[in-house]
Structure 1
């Protein structure tokens, strides 16, 4: 069986990992993770091994004391360590205009080079979560005005592993969720540059991206996505642009996360929004239709 999403880590699988490490004392972390990906069939639909995701999983198990990994050859980057992002000089001339004066907007998929450096720089400087490395399948967009001025950055990545209100709304069970999670993508970063003041720009951008992202995903990863999701911190934002772009509010998170126990709130509470890209998305995500 091929797995496109993170597999459930059972005690049997943990013991299997321990045996692999013990039987191959000369293997480094990369060789171990690639072997596990092949053994479990953990790969994307285009056949690429999910090596980075597997190494993240191994580090979590090592940190929890469940396995003992060999020493890392190079230090891993700490989450949120923004000193790796080079901050570029850029034009901050205020853009205060009607949306019609900026259209048609240009949408670029960001992959490398100076545009990727600019994308990282803008998010790291102006998004409250800053920029962090991407793991697994993702899509980066830069939005420009008709005359080429940068307006916005969007990052879509892996869907949340588990979210009660989302999962209840979709109606899938645990095994269906594990199979279908790669068919959802999470809008984890959405930035309008702070010097851009244009009414209805944010919702217009969301609508434009929603029309094309399934095809973009298909072209890049060999499969489409059928639903978008995002999580909006209620103490910071109202989610106005998502509602204006017809995203569906399906509830709120509890603030506990996967490791938060059952009582103490340890994470910001967030409104959960989804945006279906097809009318049959629930059947597709639950594996009843493709």
Structure 2
């Protein structure tokens, strides 16, 4: 039987019984032996201890059979970000959700036990999230590793469920911030450490067990390219300004900063203000922000009070309409799977968003407030947003139980889309019916108590 349990002999290590294999963390007394064996037997030598760093040893009947080292992920990998669905800003802030397999050493002769490599790797990956949570206070979602295609085929990674998602650029670190070509690009392998790991890595907000991995995004990391930023500013310049004419920060740049911060997952005015302060001078100039008096090239950014004044006094409807117009222009066709949800920015303004489930980016937005049964409540705003869309042909919309309403389902179906709406106790008759139908379906397992699911039947 497979189990996860503490081993008093290994201090803080966790063990995983996988037939005859178990995985534990390396204690302080064993660290010298572990690093020495890596230095002597691994072609890259011992791994330098950088950032969050974990040593695992796989044992069989008390004997070490494999050594693994896990550490921080590579800073930037285009193929990896595309595979996950991250933009530049999400990748910068959530990079710690990925851990890198920096060393993997089998302590036997090559070909002696053909299946041991994949079995040991799989066992290590199964306990890695729990061990990482115990050591560093957050649970990673993904693992990455590299193999040299000229020397290794990566068979054990493939057998262990890892996916080859691309190649590295073939550069080696020369100094802290400088790389030089080495002429030997590596194959990149990725592994989801839990079901729907990629979707969870893109979720806004992150689950509590992943929240500890969030870091302040690096300065100058933006969710849009240069053309998209300029286009966004031109569109938002048309928004009415609720302030007087004599303002230092024009409405176009201010709302552009709000929109980009929202795309990066900001949900508080303080987060929007911090996002603005991280812009480089060139990016500030590009947005049309003013130069500080008495300086030549110091571009000011709006403060918290500026964002607060704009967001509390403006009519949010034109802002949402312009933002949806811009999203339609730059997004092209809608993705195949969309999620409907509402979020509040503090208690001031709320946005209902229809987002791409792959990367969390919005494709349409509407304004909402926290009051129920008003024209701006989340349910009504979501229905108005759906009604304004030109088509949902070939798309599937998912939503939480709040949106499990006949009118919402009708709007989606009339636009040519399908829906998958959660059901809870707010729809007792429908919930009871869904449970009886799911029980006899070969496609649906019985849902847990209190929830269910239903797809449209045109």
Q: What is the TM-score with the length of structure 2 in the denominator?
A: 0.38
C-alpha deviations, 1:233-254, integer Å up to 9, x for none?
Answer: 1121110000011101101112
Q: Secondary structure at the match of 1:279?
A: coil
Partner of 1:45: none
Partner of 1:175: 89
Q: Partners in 2 of 1:125 and 1:254 — Cα distance?
A: 29
Q: Partners in 1 of 2:179 and 2:142 — Cα distance?
A: 27
Are the equivalent residues in 2 in contact too, given 1:177–1:285 (CA < 8 A)? no
Q: Which runs of 5+ in 1 are unaligned?
A: 1-101
- The change in CA–CA distance for 1:120 and 1:257 in structure 2 (over 3 A counts) is closer
Which of residues 184, 192, 203 is equivalent to 1:268? 184
- The change in CA–CA distance for 1:267 and 1:129 in structure 2 (over 3 A counts) is farther
1:225 and 2:149 aligned? no
Partner of 1:126: 41
Which of residues 212, 232, 250 is equivalent to 2:165? 250
RMSD: 1.9
Are the equivalent residues in 2 in contact too, given 1:181–1:285 (CA < 8 A)? no
Partner of 2:68: 154
Q: Secondary structure at the match of 1:278?
A: coil
1:184 and 2:95 aligned? no
C-alpha deviations, 1:65-124, integer Å up to 9, x for none?
Answer: xxxxxxxxxxxxxxxxxxxxxxxxxxxxxxxxxxxxx951132201311x1111101110
Q: Identify which range, 153-162 or 103-112, moves more after superposition.
A: 103-112
1:138 and 2:53 aligned? yes
Which aligned runs of 4 or more in structure 1 are off by greater than 4 angstroms? Answer: none
- The change in CA–CA distance for 1:128 and 1:281 in structure 2 (over 3 A counts) is same
Partner of 2:299: none
Q: Partners in 2 of 1:166 and 1:270 — Cα distance?
A: 13
Are the equivalent residues in 2 in contact too, given 1:186–1:229 (CA < 8 A)? yes
Partner of 1:280: 196
Q: Secondary structure at the match of 1:140?
A: strand
- Mapping 1:1-290, distance limit 5 Å: 103-113=19-29, 115-146=30-61, 148-195=62-109, 197-256=112-171, 259-260=178-179, 265-266=181-182, 268-288=184-204, 289-290=206-207
| TM superposition shift of 1:132 | 3.3
- The change in CA–CA distance for 1:141 and 1:212 in structure 2 (over 3 A counts) is same
Q: How many residues of Structure 1 are paired with residues of Structure 2 in the alignment?
A: 184
Are the equivalent residues in 2 in contact too, given 1:177–1:286 (CA < 8 A)? no
Are the equivalent residues in 1 in contact too, given 2:25–2:56 (CA < 8 A)? yes
Q: Secondary structure at the match of 2:171?
A: coil
Q: Partners in 1 of 2:76 and 2:109 — Cα distance?
A: 36
Are the equivalent residues in 2 in contact too, given 1:184–1:228 (CA < 8 A)? yes
Q: Identify which range, 179-188 or 103-112, moves more after superposition.
A: 103-112
Are the equivalent residues in 1 in contact too, given 2:47–2:103 (CA < 8 A)? no
Higher strand proportion, which one? 2
Are the equivalent residues in 1 in contact too, given 2:47–2:102 (CA < 8 A)? no
Q: Secondary structure at the match of 1:175?
A: helix
Higher Rg: 2
Q: Which structure ranks higher in relative contact order (CA pairs < 8 Å, sequence separation ≥ 6)?
A: 1
Q: Partners in 2 of 1:168 and 1:267 — Cα distance?
A: 23
